[in-house]
A and B are shown apart, each in its own frame.
Chain A
Amino acid sequence: MSGMDFANSPVVWIFGSAIVALVIFQAIKFLSLSKKAAREIGMSDSEIKRAVKTGSITAIGPSIGIIIVAVSLISLIGNPLTMMRIGVIGSAPIESMGAQLSAESAGATLAGEGFTPEIFNLVVWTLCIGGAGWMIFTFFATPYLSKIQTKLTSKPKGEYLMSIIASGAMIAVFGSLTGAEMIKGAPYIFTAAVAVISSLTFNYIANKKGINWLKEWSLGFSILISLAAVYFFI
């Protein structure tokens, strides 16, 4: 049996499906937990609906964006392992790098020369332990991070401090991520600029005229418009 045949065998499908099912279960569980909490602090049903809708719409763009990497991974490590690795923490580019590194360290080529079931399993070892790194840290550290946060917010001015840190962290990360993309070249600068302008415009119109549905779609529309623009630019 070649490594690629093994990569698409039932055993791999079973493990891959199990973890994806778990992720889906978690999402449903937290959706119901946060809905309940939202009602308890007095949020209206329409506010809850708006949050869920906005989150769903926001996910469309990024999900489509990783299709190409996902599909190219399939040709290297088979469908079920791709599903498992794309379905949980770890990013598609990192996964392809990890798979490449593993095969290379054994002197084999992914889906090619010397790709035996053993080499496939080597890739599984590397990617699974690699992805578990985040989960293990989250599992152990989140209760402590939570305690630190509670201590901080219970102090006078704590809420204010927390809100500054949270907003500052977000703005800074996206400034950094956008900056990193922009230094890649003209089409990247162009795309980011169109995205910034359309997002500002949508939010301005939505706030000025009080159009709530536009706020929900603003990110999705901005992504679509900038992609359409760069399609003609390149």
Chain B
Amino acid sequence: MNEFRAASHRWGRITIGLGILISLAMPLYISFVMGYHPGFSLIINSFLAYAAVVAIVWFLEPIMYFPVLGVSGTYVAFFTGNISNMCLPAVASCQEAVGVEPGTDKGEIVGTLGISAASLVNKIILIPVILAGLWLLTVIPESVQEVFPYVLPAIFGAVLAQFAGKYPIYGVLALIIGILVNMAPIPLFTKNVLCIVLLVCIMLAAGKLKSKKA
């Protein structure tokens, strides 16, 4: 397991490091080699407007999903993207299918097998779609396109139910907390974190009560 962790750190950091370099090289190249430079004041303005919305998530997401994804899963998930709609469901259903606990070594390995496979399939589906591009929208009937916004509640509900099978009370509780927290007028980025903190505290307290009784 230690060998696997070390290899994950090594390859994770090599691939993500290269990814960062390409991401920075691209705009630099277009600006200074090709000469299409929009000017730094514009860049800073536009970046700040964007960062105001997402910057906090850069820190929160890797931390809050770490217990679920583990070292190797984190490196893959935070490079390939689609964390909540693809990577986490992949981890959950793989661990369920093989029958391992999340947060354990075996759980991490099974989860990484699942996320890596999911990442590959995702690219295999998306690349031809993007090459086909706009033509595709003319082929998919409009009535079918109308269903697309509902893909998210379908995924989220199905994954939630997977846990509800194992922990029925906590599944229901999570949904109630989720609805209440999301209706509350608090900033978007605090919502998922607040739900995690609340539920984990309740679960730990319940565990303590049980062990006292026993």
Contact = CB atoms under 8 A, between A and B. Distances in A.
Interface of A: 6, 11-12, 15, 18-20, 22-31, 33-38, 40-41, 43, 47-48, 50-68, 70-72, 74-75, 79, 82-83, 86-91, 94, 97-98, 101-102, 105-106, 116-122, 124-139, 141-143, 145-146, 149, 159, 161-183, 187-189, 191-200, 203-204, 207, 212, 215-216, 218-219, 222-223, 226-227, 230-231, 234
Main secondary structure of the interface of A (DSSP, over half): helix
A204 B161 CA distance: 11
B123 A23 contact: yes
B22 A227 contact: no
B26 interface: yes
A163 B114 CA distance: 19
Contacts of A188: 150, 153
Contact of B175 (A126, A142, A178): A178
Contacts of B38: 106, 118-119, 121-122, 125
Contact of B117 (A55, A64, A121, A196): A55
A19 B103 contact: no
Contact of B80 (A26, A50, A120): A26
A6 to B, nearest CB: 7
Nearest to B26: A15
B98 A47 contact: yes
Contact of B158 (A52, A74, A119, A199): A199
A227 B143 contact: no
Given A24-B123, A54-B93, A138 B134 contact: no
A203 B171 CA distance: 15
A171 B182 contact: no
